[in-house]
Structure 1
Amino acid sequence: METMKPYWITPARILAAMLSAGLLVSTPARSDGEFPTKTPIKHIVVIFQENVSFDHYFGTYPHAQPNKDGSRFFNKPADDTPRANTLLSAGLLNHNPNGANPFRIDRSVPVTCDQDHGYSDEQFAFHDGLMDRFLAHSCKDTNIGPNSTLGYYDGNTVTALWNYAQHYAMSDNSFGTSFGPSTPGLLNLVAGTTYMGTITNGLSATGDIANGANSGAVIGDPDPAGDVCSNPKRTQITMSGENIGDRLNASGITWGAFMGGFDDCKLAHNNVSGSSAGADYIPHHAFFQYWKSTQNAHHLPPGSDAAIGKTDQANHQYDLGRFHTALANHNLPAVSFLKARAFQDGHAGYSDPLDEQTFVVGVINDVMRSPEWRETAIVIAYDDSDGWYDHVMGPIVYQSNTVDDQLLAAGSCGQPGSNDPAGGAQNGRCGYGPRLPLLVISPWAKKNYIDHQVTDQSSIIRFIEDNWGVKRIGNGSADAVAGSLNGLFDFDGGARAGRLLLDERSGVVAASDN
């Protein structure tokens, strides 16, 4: 595998990049097709990635070690970088309760084994907040060894994310709304709840629905029923209730979910190691395909490019390429959810941080080059932790006592009852779950800022609801109690309008007026 060489930035390169990117040319603000908002944000773009705990990417932030080949990609951090709650700041790099110490994974090893991130096993690792049983379910990686779940990357691998954190805002106290793998994470992102899923094809509920029931809280990765690309040999479910797409439709606000491989679910790519990552489109990662109201069962295209974001045969579900089409045509929906092609989604086992970086930077560079940038907030968030070690346990807002729970004891994540925000009626939603990265990139984001307020995945839909005046989802959705993302913004000080263009391959700064 090719070794990356240092990328030296010279004044000539910066000037050339800024000229080619249009950073030195004023662009008109977009005025057509907008909706009244509470803040200056007219467009929110949610980049929803896969399987990373906060410490796995930011465990030593902002201090990075050189790679084994001597290369460095992350420059010295800014002197005013605030203190984050990391493995380094907590003193857990050398005195760890797991019986072994966390270790840095070199940039030359981007592809690793996939950790155990099941609903039950994640809780078991947390051990009532002692956070000392992560090795019990660690995968044994060929390159990094049997204690692989304690491995972490730093800014000389996840360079782009560290650079975004240096120039915009990041949370070090944001959590999965509940424990579990990808599907619970995406359900929480778009509906604030994993309740209620119902199995439609008669296959086993064990590991997919709490208590092994035919319907209830989703705890596993079943496919969406009705999706033409779903695997008939895999448990399939449909969700009841509403999601944020339903609420946006009710208010006539444009929105879209843009997913890699949606136009051709057999298309596949290799990751940076040359290994196949499988099909680009993963049905159980498809945000809105679980609800009949927002499903595009046969993956139909929009009637026209101008229809992207509006209700037609595509039903707001699109291939990822149509996001870039809408952006180029200045027809960007008010709300966009993005899912990378599988090899670029960051999921250990088949994807990796280097392929992920190419995708994330490519999207953000394109948005920053557009006039829409001035009124846009980009949120980078994750669906689950993959089981990677993180030393922080969040508050248990949703208690549960199904046979699948393991947080406090076998069958226990507390006692659901009237004090539970869901009223105790939605058992199987133990959470908050693992701590996950969350970054906000916007002209209106605070610069080089770390927010410590408790938030969760549903905080994103709460921001959407509040910004566009959309009603809460109800039915026990976590949006009703979610912490606010407003602490990552400065809506009073005026837009900084700063762009930070990064190199897609290395993550280093290519041009900036920030």
Structure 2
Amino acid sequence: MDRHVPPTHGSRLARLRPRTRRTAGLAAVAAAGLALAAAAPGFAAGDDHPKGATATPIQHLVVIFQENVSFDHYFGTYPTAANTDGTRFVAKPGTPTVNGLTGPLLTANPNTANPQRIPSTTPLTCDQDHGYTAEQKAFDGGLMDAFIQNTDVESCAAPDKSLPGLVMDYYDGNTVTAMWNYAQNYAMSDNSFDTVLGPSTPGALNLISGQTHGGYAVTPAGAKTTDSYAVVSPDANGVGTVINDPDPAFDDCSSTKHNRVVMQGRNVGDLLNAKNVTWGWFQGGFRPTSTVNGTAVCGSQHANVGGAMQTDYNPHHEPFQYYQSTSNPHHLPPSSVAAIGHTDRANHQYDLADFDAALAHGNLPAVSFLKAANYQDGHAGYSDPIDEQHFVVNMINALQKSKDWKSTAVVIAYDDSDGWYDHVMPPIVNASNTSLDALNGAGKCGSANRAPLGGYANRCGYGPRLPLLVVSPYAKSNFVDHTTTDQTSILRFIEDNWSTGRIGDYSFDALAGPLTNMFDFGHRNDRKLLLDPTSGAPLHGDH
């Protein structure tokens, strides 16, 4: 998403959510922060878990971080598919249901349009409005009934499809077949949220640091400046909060037309480096197509399923490039395949091709973040579920065939909801009270008498509900987790599994619920589920 400006049209004031529900939600989040080792007693015999190396048998974590999907948009009718088009999907007997779209939510929705199923023949749709303020207005004080007025975008240019009331609509297992098959055979959550409201960059920053405050604007030449798009609510030194999609300061491929952002503080890469744990961020299109006077040019492109050419690399999807300590401004390649995951000239920032090389050579880092090229990241407006499925399935198939699969966990997560309808009001664990906050009426987010964490404004959260899946030999099978989690639950898993300590400075990691209920660390399932990347169906009848 580029230079997003939230709409100015208002939404009516609405009654607050019952205080008892919000208080209970906060208590549940606080109680959930348990150490991984305590949650995972009795590792299976013969699981090759080296004592002291990790708190669980997971020695390799791969986070596939996709774009712009709400839970209801992909899983609203799980596990029931229409089976009128696309790949047929029939759930296993005993499949648990989810908190999804049922009954009146489908036929008498409180919004001004009912959710409609999007057929598999319509994978490309308009990008929805997913601004920080727009999403708060769509929530309408917890009534979840103002999406059409605030985040709906139903008219766009071909090959993207325009549909009335589009923001309300959803796919089922006939289109997002692979995701539903992973849910059938591994673990998923129906109670996981965007850490804060808003678009891609805040979600990416929260994934690695739990912190969207601490940024300041610089010009493309690197001079400190002021810019209300780059950061909001700045202090006297210009340090404020990121709620939009400004490009990172430490990246040659960032826009030369707009100001950029420098983030201060620590991220998980800094924590892993301090512990000598191998790690990397791998992103499509990161490898330069050329250099001009030593400056990298990121010019690679691919066509999406509709034939539209898309540039592969998106700088504001690369969170480590906002931090000088973990950046690779010139997109330098690793010094060797053996060096991938270690500190060298690439500084842990790589192209996806480097992940493929590391995996092929048996050099999988302990922690890997995978970011698809734009056309495969699932973001409406330039990507789609079909191209996304190819990426996710090919990556997981390759991991399942590797020597390290027995100690690997793949987490499939998303950076934001794109503004797509989801019917669940999230628990508000952090308040904000500025002119940009509109969740419970003009100027409020959460309780008006609660101070924001650290005094940092414009981190209203949690935001919309997002899909979250765990694919691993240690994942529970055909399991739906209801634990309250958010994007920083992934960060917390890393911190606890590799004993790095917390980020600090009021990072959301201190509040994050654990992922451990999605695992059974006492039992390893060595059966593999290989899927067809085109259909999303199991290969060789493996289901």
| TM-score between both structures, scaled by the size of structure 2 | 0.85
Match of 1:326? 358
Cα shift at 1:43? 0.2
Distance 1:389 1:505, change over 3 A: same
Q: Are the aligned partners of 1:257 and 1:287 in contact in 2 as well (CA < 8 Å)?
A: no
Taking the aligned partners of 1:184 and 1:416, their CA distance within structure 2 comes to 23
Inter-partner Cα distance in structure 1 for 2:448 and 2:377: 34
**Matching of residue 138 in structure 1 with residue 152 in structure 2:** yes
Query: Which residue of the partner structure matches residue 275 of structure 1?
Result: 308
Task: Tell me whether 1:294 sits opposite 2:326 in the alignment.
Answer: yes
Contact 2:250 2:323 in 1 (8 A): no
Q: Is 2:36 the partner of 1:42? A: no
The match for 1:211 is 233
Find the counterpart in structure 1 of residue 274 from structure 2.
250
Tell me, in whole angstroms, the C-alpha distance in 2 between the residues paired with 1:146 and 1:75. Answer: 27
State how far apart, in whole Å, the 2-side matches of 1:297 and 1:31 are.
38
Q: Deviations over 1:321-368 (max 9, x none)?
A: 111111111100000000000000000000000000000000000000
What is the CA-CA distance between 1:415 and the residue it aligns to? Answer: 5.1
Q: Distance in 2 between matches of 1:304 and 1:34?
A: 30
Task: Report Cα offsets for 1:144-169 as digits up to 9, x if no partner.
Answer: 42311011100000000000000000
Equivalent residue for 1:460, pick from 490, 495, 512: 490
Task: Report if aligned partners of 1:131, 1:393 keep a CA contact under 8 Å in 2.
Answer: yes
Q: Secondary structure at the match of 2:106?
A: coil
- Does the Cα contact within 8 Å between 1:501 and 1:512 map onto a contact in 2? no
- Paired position in structure 2 for 1:196: 214
Query: Which residue identity does 2:468 align to in structure 1?
Result: L
CA deviation after TM superposition for structure 1 residue 205, in Å: 2.7
CA-based RMSD of the aligned residues comes to 1.9
Q: Give the distance between the partners of 1:110 and 1:399, measured in 2 at CA.
A: 36
CA gap 1:34/1:257 in 2 versus in 1, 3 angstroms: farther
- The offset of 1:35, in angstroms, is 7.3
Shift of the alpha carbon at 1:31? 7.6
Q: Which moved more, 1:410-419 or 1:374-383?
A: 410-419
Q: 1:199 to 1:416 in 2, by over 3 A?
A: farther
- Residue identity in the other structure for 2:121: S
Q: CA deviation at 1:203?
A: 6.5
The one-letter amino acid paired with 2:392 is V
Alignment correspondent of 1:25: none
Q: Does 1:500 align with 2:525?
A: no
Q: Percent identity?
A: 56
Q: Confirm or deny: 8 A CA contact 2:176 2:389 kept in the other structure.
A: yes
SS for the counterpart of 2:101 is coil
Match of 2:196 in 1: 178
How many pairs were matched up? 478
Tell me by how many angstroms 1:233 deviates: 1.1
Of residues 455, 471, 474, the one that matches 1:444 is 474
Q: Give, in angstroms, the shift of residue 79 of structure 1.
A: 1.1
What are the Cα deviations for residues 51-94 of structure 1, in whole angstroms up to 9, with x where unaligned?
00000000110111134xxx441331011111200012x64000
For 2:215 and 2:411, how far apart are their aligned partners in 1? 27
- 1:217 CA displacement: 1.2
How far did residue 32 of structure 1 move?
12
Relative to structure 1, the CA distance from residue 31 to residue 414 in structure 2 (aligned partners, 3 Å threshold; closer, same or farther) is closer
Q: How far apart in 1 are the matches of 2:505 and 2:381? A: 36
Of the three residues 65, 83, 88, the one matched with 2:97 is 83
Residues in 2 aligned to 1:275 and 1:95: alpha-carbon distance in whole angstroms: 37
- Name which of 413, 421, 444 aligns with 1:412: 444
- Cα distance in structure 2, aligned partners of 1:353 and 1:162: 12
Give 1:385's match in structure 2, choosing from 417, 439, 462: 417
CA, structure 1 residues 32+449, in 2 after alignment: closer, same or farther (shift >3 Å)? closer
| Residue 287 of structure 1, CA deviation | 2.2
Q: Is the 8 A contact 1:394 1:432 kept in 2?
A: yes
Deviates more, 1:410-419 or 1:390-399: 410-419
Maintained 8 Å contact 1:36/1:468: yes
Determine the C-alpha separation between the residues in 2 that align with 1:467 and 1:291.
23
Report the equivalent of 2:456: 426
2:263 is the alignment partner of 1:234? no
Q: In 1, Cα distance between the equivalents of 2:458 and 2:83?
A: 44
Query: Unaligned regions of 5+ residues in structure 1, if any?
Result: 1-28
Tell me the TM-score normalised to structure 1 length: 0.90
What whole-Å deviation, never above 9, does each CA across 1:76-132 have from its counterpart, x for those lacking one?
1011111200012x6400010111100011111101110000001011100111001
2: CA distance, partners of 1:344 / 1:33? 36
